[in-house]
Structure 1
Amino acid sequence: MPAFKTLDDLGDLSGKRVLVRVDLNVPVKDGKVTDATRIERVAPTLQELSGKGARVILLAHFGRPKGKPTEGMSLRPIVGTVEAVLDHRVHFAADCVGEAAKAAVDAMVDGDILVLENTRFHAGEESNDPAFASALAANGDIYVNDAFSAAHRAHASTEGLARLLPAYAGRTMQAELVALEKGLGNPARPVVAIVGGAKVSSKIDLLKNLVGKVDALVIGGGMANTFLAARGIDVGRSLCEHDLAGTVREIEAAALASGCAIVLPVDGVVAREFKADAENETIDVDAIPADAMMLDVGPKSIESVNAWISKADTLVWNGPLGAFEISPFDRATVAAARHAALRTGEGLLVSVAGGGDTVSALNHAGVADDFTYVSTAGGAFLEWMEGKPLPGVDALKG
């Protein structure tokens, strides 16, 4: 990965206006933030900059207002939570450009923190309009990007602005990029990837990229049914994309050519109903009843997955092995997650995971804090796994 500058490369910040792109797109209910994780992630960057005398100006989006001010999508209600997390007074400006933004920035003193209004209230944000990027840049001397979750978008506040001001990675962005480099960029081998979830169709690019980069690819969730069906196995009423058999065979051929093992379930937990505590049985995958569906992988498959994790020096994980949201179909995901966490804690494994369902699954297993790195970036993490360029990251390189 080409070098990128971090906060360690900044000189004296006293009096400097630092525009910091952060992710404040947090869940809100009845005007209250219900999960402050993303705010907590950027707190170290903001506290460090403020502590060094910078005038810290936050740029962020919230929701999808489609280029115009929209009721219910203002960042104003989030400011109180930002204050609580940072334990620091936080100011707010009713616009991110123009007179309102300029007046608020001009009123700042060293160490102040200011949140500018939703960047997506302007059409120029998502179109990466040069004039809008210049208007944002007018209020800053330095640009810091600490929003990896928005780095897959070439927007004015994520890409355009980085071309106009001296650009640096914040602490969260830095940690994410270092972790991802260890995951697939320059990993310790063997590398094992676990990919689960409902549909192959949503992860075709991901699978095609991974088979050329990892030593073993473990397929779980509903995706495994599609792979099994492509091999001629009757998966009964299991979630399955039968029309993707040709695509699956292409992926398997590419894996064979690159020396990547495809690891599929050999047994599964099947039920007639998709509900918690449904009557179920464990059975080999080639004996699934016509009226049943596989909702989790079985104990022999768990043993196989954990054996691959034990062989690995690096693990990359995206997607659960089964319907982990409902008991008892969470057993495989929990068992594999805890085994990976144990290996990581022993210093034997670099474990990098990401994606909404994956984060939820690791939290469910109680091990999210025990992996080397867990990304909350969602789409950006997936596009990184797919091998696609990330404009917000590329703009920091040089």
Structure 2
Amino acid sequence: MKIKSIKQIKNLKGKRALVRVDYNLPINKGRLDFKEDLRIRASFETIRYLWKKDATIILISHLGRPEKREKSLSLAPIAKYLSKELLLKVNFMKDDLTKKNISKKIKPGINLLENIRFYKEEESDSKEFAEKLAKLGDIFINEAFSVSHRNNASICCIQNFLPSYAGLHLEEEIKNLSRLLSKNIKKSNRPYIALMGGAKISTKINLISSLLKSTDFVLLGGALISNILKLQGYSIGNTFVEKISKNVVEKICKNKKIILPIDVVVGKKDEPQSACIVRLKDGKKLCKNNEGILDIGPETVLSFSKYIKSASTLVWNGPVGYFENTAFAYGTFSLARLIASRGKGKTYAVVGGGETISALDITEMEEDVDWISTGGGAMLAFLAGESMPGLKKIVK
């Protein structure tokens, strides 16, 4: 696998570099939550590299899903945050680039365009819009791995008009995640264990299917087990169940590499005192109608721990419980601490997905994991071997 890196560009002095980043922060009570700034910080190395090479930097990002130009989704606060964290002046460009020629307003140093999703052409991967964007720069740099699975104009189509390269962090994403691909797993990398959690099994079916070919075992938790338990005849109350092909679920169930929970914690989301441990072998009725499965149980934690401790390669995506409520957080936090404790030693440990990273952050053990991916859906797509439009001209 060959990656076109910005380090391969011999002379960046005076060059205008269009850098696609992902500054899509969560919004809390109407304000941007800068505590979740992993993806912002991931771009700093590339920004500083370009700055030192005397390139003019033009940052492009999206925020939220605006239907029009909404003040609440402006990138103006992010421009201030960048300036504060980088200790460099950032020129925020709020002008509508479809109505004005903003090229003359680009200043030497760092520039940040307004929310790229203010333009409907962005998500339609408009050729005309991509070409207009491309005219602002000399080269294109993708530093937004987390959206590289999307067919968007500022990620995909723009690469048809400019020489395109990988940012420094994106390059590391590809190198680290590539170690988990089937073709790169050797005997010395085994046992290879995957822990999959989260809310929707439909978003992870392709990845689970791919992992079953490359891993030794796939441990399932979170709401991913809902469809499986229902198919097996368990009464699971108001636990979220997706509409998904019965045949797909049956195929997963029958695979001997799939390891399911042996006990679960049930209850009501907002009532910690309702938490109750139920073993699957004790009967088919796991929940009352007004209850749901909200965590894996202690026996499952012990069971999963044996597999994790045996691993030479580990990948974790998705919490195994509703960890936002401490009554249902034991499973997620216990396994997060164990995975982190195995990393950076004999075990190669990779973690990805927004909620997964949030859970790991609470344990304060992020530094102990070998690689934390900024990609959620992009990480799933890459590991499943799906199309990555944002990498088409960058990775061969």
Q: TM-score, normalised by structure 1?
A: 0.88
- Per the TM alignment, residue 301 of structure 1 is displaced from its structure 2 partner at its CA by 1.4
Q: State the shift of 1:63 in Å.
A: 2.4
2:219 partner letter: V
Is 2:223–2:240's contact at 8 Å kept on the other side of the alignment? yes
Q: Quote the residue 1:208 is aligned against.
A: 209
Q: Which residue of 1 aligns with 2:76?
A: 76
Following the alignment from structure 2 to structure 1, what is the Cα–Cα distance between the partners of residues 192 and 103? 50
Structure 2 matches for 1:112-123, cutoff 5 A?
112-123=109-120
CA distance in 2, matches of 1:319, 1:209: 17
Q: 1:165 to 1:335 in 2, by over 3 A?
A: same
Instruction: After superposing the two structures, state which structure 1 stretch, 274-283 or 135-144, moved more.
Output: 274-283
Q: CA deviation at 1:192?
A: 1.2
Q: Which amino acid aligns with 2:282?
A: A
Pairs within 5 Å for 1:67-216: 69-93=69-93, 94-96=95-97, 99-105=100-106, 108-109=107-108, 112-184=109-181, 186-187=184-185, 188-216=189-217
> Could you tell me the percent identity over the aligned residues?
35
Partner of 2:273: 278
Alignment partner of 1:115: what SS?
strand
Q: How does 1:193-272 map to 2 (within 5 A)?
A: 193-232=194-233, 234-237=234-237, 239=239, 241=241, 245-253=246-254, 255-256=255-256, 261-271=257-267
Task: State the SS of the aligned residue for 2:359.
Answer: helix
In the alignment, what sits opposite 1:323?
A: 322
* Contact 2:201–2:242 (Cα < 8 Å) also in 1: no
Aligned partner of 2:372 among 367, 371, 374: 374
Which amino acid is 1:231 matched to?
A: Q
The answer as to whether partners of 1:22 and 1:147 remain within 8 angstroms in 2 is yes
Are the counterparts in 2 of residues 228 and 264 from structure 1 also a CA contact under 8 Å? no
Q: What 5-or-longer segments of structure 1 have no aligned partner?
A: none
Which range moves more in the overlay, 144-153 or 118-127? 118-127
1:301 corresponds to? 300
Aligned to 2:44: 43
Query: Aligned in 2, Cα 1:120/1:225: closer, same or farther, shift over 3 Å?
Result: closer
Residues 95 and 118, structure 1, Cα contact 8 Å, conserved in 2:
no
Counterpart-to-counterpart distance in 1, 2:103 and 2:286: 67
- Look up the match of 2:54: 53
Size of the alignment, in residue pairs? 384
Deviation of 1:231 after TM superposition, in Å, equals 3.4
Give the whole-Å Cα distance in 1 for the aligned partners of 2:212 and 2:312: 17
Change (3 A) 1:33 1:342: closer
CA contact (8 A) 2:287 2:293 kept: no
Does the 8 Å contact 1:190/1:215 carry over to 2? yes
**What's the offset of the Cα at 1:274?**
3.2
Q: Who is 1:338 aligned against?
A: 337
Q: In the aligned structure 1, how far is the partner of 2:269 from the partner of 2:123?
A: 40
- Counterpart-to-counterpart distance in 2, 1:96 and 1:26: 23
Offset of residue 242 of structure 1? 8.9
Deviations 1:232-252, CA, capped at 9 Å, x for gaps = 4x3442626497554321223
Which amino acid is 1:73 matched to? L
**3-state SS, counterpart of residue 19 of structure 2:** strand
Gaps of 5+ in 2: none
Shift of 1:202: 4.1
Map Cα deviations across residues 277-336 of structure 1 (whole Å, 9 max, x no partner): 324443421225554454322222112211111222211111122222212321121111
Q: 2:143 corresponds to which letter in structure 1?
A: D
> SS at 2:214's partner residue?
coil
Structure 1 residues 149 and 96: CA distance shift in structure 2, 3 A: farther
Q: Structure 1 residues 310, 392: closer, same or farther in 2, change over 3 A?
A: same
Amino acid at match of 2:385: G
Amino acid at match of 1:175: E
Q: Which amino acid aligns with 2:173?
A: E
CA RMSD of aligned residues (A): 2.5
> Tell me, what secondary structure is at the counterpart of 1:183?
coil
- In the alignment, is the contact (CA less than 8 A) between 1:230 and 1:242 conserved in 2? no
Identify the range of structure 1 (37-46 vs 381-390) with the bigger mean alpha-carbon deviation. Answer: 381-390
Once structures 1 and 2 are overlaid, which stretch shifts more, 284-293 or 188-197? 284-293
Whole-angstrom CA distance in 2 between matches of 1:236 and 1:73? 39
Q: Residues 349-388 of structure 1: matches in 2 within 5 Å?
A: 349-388=347-386
Shifted more, 47-56 versus 37-46: the winner is 37-46
Partners of 2:230 and 2:190 in 1: CA distance: 31
The separation in 1 between residues aligned to 2:369 and 2:358, in whole angstroms, is 13
Change (3 A) 1:127 1:280: closer
Secondary structure in 1 matching 2:88: coil
Amino acid at match of 2:152: H
Aligned to 2:34: 34
TM-score, normalising length: structure 2:
0.88
> For residues 186-212 of structure 1, what are the alpha-carbon distances to aligned partners after superposition, in whole Å with 9 as ceiling and x for unaligned?
243322111112343443333223222
Query: Aligned partners of 2:205, 2:156: CA distance in 1, in Å?
Result: 27
What SS is found at the alignment partner of 1:206? helix
Could you say if the C-alpha distance between residues 240 and 143 of structure 1 is closer, same or farther in structure 2, counting changes exceeding 3 Å? closer
